[in-house]
Amino acid sequence: MKILAVDIGTGTQDIFLYDSNLDIENGFKLVLPSPTMMVHRRLKQSLHLRTPILLAGHQMGGGPSAWAIEEYARAGIPVYMTPSAATTLNDELDKVEALGIRIISDDEVKGLPSKVESLELKDFDFKLISKTFNDYGVSLDDLSAIAVAVFDHGNAPAGVSDRQFRFDYLDERIRAKNSLSAFAYLSSDIPKIMTRLQSVADSAGELPCPLVVMDTAPAAVLGACLDFQVATRKQKIVCNVGNFHALAFRLGEKGIEGVFEHHTGEIDLPKLEGFIRKLADGSLKHEDVFDDMGHGALMYSDKKFEFGQDDFDVVVTGPRRSMFVLTPSPHPQPLSQKERGALRPYFAVPFGDMMIAGCFGLLAATAEILPELTEAVIGSLRGGGGRGVTPWDANP
């Protein structure tokens, strides 16, 4: 049995091909530029040519792609976007047009001059991934499932904060099912408000198997929990420090006890650790994070999480995890934990690979959503019963 897991971030898209006949460590892996970075580079390379461009396709991750599109428009080069592609920049299309970008229908696309270059926007390109594996003699025709993770703010109504809207969604999901897998769905069950998740399903086209989609941050945290040192702890705080978003979950025997999410660019280590300490003692309030330009915070337990019970205080994963070890000048070397008064981090390496943590989380969530796959996947994650415990043993 094979499952393709694709974790799509800002910098990279991390790909893992699970095969039940192999040990997890022997699964095939790819770490490639993210789709948003691919669009960014394509536009930056052609900017000097000043060729008019049509951006069609689907909503995809913004950030680098959005910056490059806006730079194109600011340079006075004609930029055309179809409505679905334009939501990459903003769900309110009048705000996209205010950037100097022309929104056109599919019928109008046919009338554009031949000199207009076309570029399709999409987060998930199964055909390209399949071709890459096929070039190495590995077929994806026999997959049992595909799982894809992206970050989705959700489609907030006009006048409603994207940050508040996302946290209302997180709260609803946690109250409905207090589990990290609550943020994963079969493609047929995606909530209407989660438009980027839906765009992944739409752009995937006809697939040979079921498709599961999930939010990136819970996927990374769930994957980090598969690290043996982490899975053995009944209580823990796991922080995913992403390129754009930093999110921390406090996990206990009954599930999620608290969570906060901030923009990574708005915080430094002291501020991040301050939020983690408040998450631990139960005093963290939504406005503490939201009013600091973060997304917010939710607490579901007023009990205190005691640091010092293990040989680490916080589990860390994510591409910007180095925030926990680097110190600003003028110190030539990182200060000791005692000198900094800092929390003791443990850098999770599930199955020996931090970069694929989100893929492992996707794999675990898929096993829960598709019962016919559960036994084989959990058996692999447990190493045939000889490796140790998994989140299913330590947490619900």
List pLDDT tens digits, range 264-293.
999 999 999 999 999 999 999 999 999 999
114 band by pLDDT with thresholds 50, 70 and 90: confident
Q: State the angle between helix axes of 64-74 and 35-46 in degrees (0 to 180), rounded to the nearest 10.
A: 20
Q: What is the 3-state secondary structure (H, E, C) of the chain?
A: CEEEEEEECCCEEEEEEEECCCCHHHCEEEEEECHHHHHHHHHHHHHHHCCCEEEEECCCCCCHHHHHHHHHHHCCCCEEECHHHHCCCCCCHHHHHCCCCEECCHHHHCCCCCCCEEEEECCCCHHHHHHHHHHCCCCCCCEEEEEEEECCCCCCCCCCCHHHHHHHHHHHHHHHCCCHHHHEEEHHHCCCCCHHHHHHHHHHCCCCCCEEEEEHHHHHHHHHCCCHHHHCCCCEEEEEECCCEEEEEEEECCEEEEEEEEEHHHCCHHHHHHHHHHHHHCCCCHHHHHCCCCCEEEECCCCCCCCCCCCCCEEEECCCHHHHCCCCCCCCCCCCHHHHCCCCEEECCHHHCHHHHHHHHHHHHHHHHCHHHHHHHHHHHCCCCCCCCCHHHHCC
Query: For residue 14, what pLDDT is reported?
Result: 97
Calculate the alpha carbon distances from 351 to 23, 225, 348, 359 in Å. 10, 11, 9, 11
User: For 80-103, what is the mean pLDDT?
Assistant: 96
Q: What is the overall mean pLDDT for the chain?
A: 91
Confidence band for 333, pLDDT divided at 50, 70 and 90? low
Q: Give the pLDDT of residue 396.
A: 40
pLDDT digits (tens, 9 = 90+) for 58-77: 999 989 999 999 999 999 99
**pLDDT over 60 (residue 13):** yes
State the Cα–Cα distance between residues 57 and 331, nearest whole angstrom: 49
Residue 392 has pLDDT above 90, yes or no: no
pLDDT digits (tens, 9 = 90+) for 228-278: 999 989 999 999 999 999 999 999 998 999 999 999 999 999 999 999 999
Q: In the structure encoding, which two tokens stand for residue 222, read together?
A: 């769930």
Collect all residues with Cβ–Cβ distance below 8 Å to 199 and sequence separation of at least 6.
58, 59, 60, 84, 122, 123
Residue 147 in contact with residue 3, Cβ under 8 Å?
Answer: yes
What is the rounded distance in angstroms from the CA atom of residue 180 to the CA atom of residue 364?
Answer: 10
Neighbouring CB atoms inside 10 A of 316's CB total 25
Q: Are 275 and 260 in contact (CB under 8 A)?
A: yes
Q: What pLDDT sits at residue 106?
A: 87
229-348 — its CATH code?
3.30.420.40
| pLDDT tier, 334 (very low <50, low <70, confident <90, very high otherwise) | low
Which pLDDT value is given to residue 382? 83
45-121: CATH topology is Rossmann fold (3.40.50)
pLDDT band at 390 (very low <50, low <70, confident <90, very high): low
Domain layout of the chain by residue ranges: 45-121, 229-348
Has residue 341 got a pLDDT over 70?
no
Residue 395 has pLDDT above 90, yes or no: no
Q: pTM of the prediction?
A: 0.92
Two structure tokens written together for 172: 């609803």
Same fold, 45-121 and 229-348: no
Task: Check pLDDT > 70 for residue 34.
Answer: yes
pLDDT at 387: 47
Q: Does pLDDT of 384 surpass 50?
A: no
pLDDT of 327 over the 80 cut: no
- What is the structure's pLDDT at 386? 37
Listed residue (220, 100, 203, 92) closest to 151, CA to CA: 220
What pLDDT score does 335 carry? Answer: 53
Task: Please give the span between the terminal C-alpha atoms of the chain, in angstroms, as a whole number.
Answer: 25
Work out the average pLDDT over 54-59.
96
